[in-house]
Structure 1
């Protein structure tokens, strides 16, 4: 079966011994020890603008956590342009929106993947009111229940500067990882995204830089605490 054009590559699964995969492991380790007194059980991953690699990052980071023997759930909370179901080759008929609209139970929206310890909750059918759903009390209840079910919960959201969704979800998570494409995004937009998150008192725990020029001919991810 051919890969959907919206599918993001999961190099941690395809080639776990590659230098890029090792970069994701380093990112995972840095996040684990970011602040030992405030563990990151629920981490949101976002970017300033589209096409910066935030979904590729969250997918690979989820696999990295799963490979460390953690029970991991990846939530596709990008209710506008979801892609997790393409990347992991899952159905998107039932997902986050199915729960928030009261149509399905949590257990019905969680899907197994071929990767041990990793499960995915896809976005579900695209709704007319994403921001309202993500800001609802049902969303609060959903995330609270998932905290009790998994060691690590990773949440993929739309870019910060595109819509308000990321700001809404960030207040419900233990921390935010901001993914920045060093070749594509101007500094002013990265700063604007950071300020938008800080405005709602989100806890930014680090910035993952990709497309950073190095002596090697591959992109890598660099972690720096806020």
Structure 2
């Protein structure tokens, strides 16, 4: 499961990139990406997919498991969109139906990634946390304060969810001045032919 403390930290694009990388790098392994952010799902937009029955319809009994599976055009990758925004998203995620859906998908796919709403504004991530194998917390550098991250971690811990890793987004790299000069001096020693060869 991929989440963040606050909105706008890059959790959805992280989930998408991770799913694509796994589908590309893991030979003959099937990957399922579920958009469980039924209030502000964005996976359909990122993949350029139109309106399609998704998780909300599945949880409400208006679609079946196979009917919500979409191939976004990437080998070994399947997605389940968020669907139409329901009035009771948290209740649906906390239902026995959600556990049954995940159990079914586990028999169909080798790996399942779930993109959830952020931890602090809503309870959805804490609801799903205990029923997944682990959580990856996405943190935006220079934005999220440490006490907010700690509070989010505490909420997940109290929900008996297990954080297994972190992804830091929006990082800016600054080369020290001496290293910057060294790199440009070293690059300047290349001839045109050597530079062309180095790029191939």
TM normalised by structure 2 equals 0.84
Which residue number corresponds to residue 201 of structure 1? 160
Whether 1:51 and 2:51 are equivalent positions in the alignment is no
Q: Distance in 1 between matches of 2:97 and 2:51?
A: 20
Tell me the distance in 2 between the aligned counterparts of 1:92 and 1:109: 11
**C-alpha distance in 2, partners of 1:169/1:90?**
25
For residues 188 and 126 of structure 1, the distance between their equivalents in structure 2, rounded to whole angstroms, comes to 31
Q: TM-score normalised to the size of structure 1?
A: 0.75
Partner of 1:210: 169
> Shift of the alpha carbon at 1:138?
0.4
Report how many residues are paired: 173
Instruction: Tell me the distance in 2 between the aligned counterparts of 1:152 and 1:47.
Output: 20
Q: Deviation at 1:171? A: 1.1
Larger Cα-atom Rg: 2
- Once the two structures are TM-superposed, the CA of residue 215 in structure 1 deviates from its matched residue by 3.4
Cα deviation digits, residues 28-85 of structure 1 (max 9, x gap): xxxxxxxxxxxxxxxx000000010111100000001101222101000001101111
- The equivalent of 1:64 in structure 2 is 21
Name the SS for the 1:171 alignment partner. helix
The gaps in structure 1 that reach 5 residues or longer are 1-43, 217-226
More helix by share: 2
Aligned counterpart for 1:150 among listed residues 70, 94, 109: 109
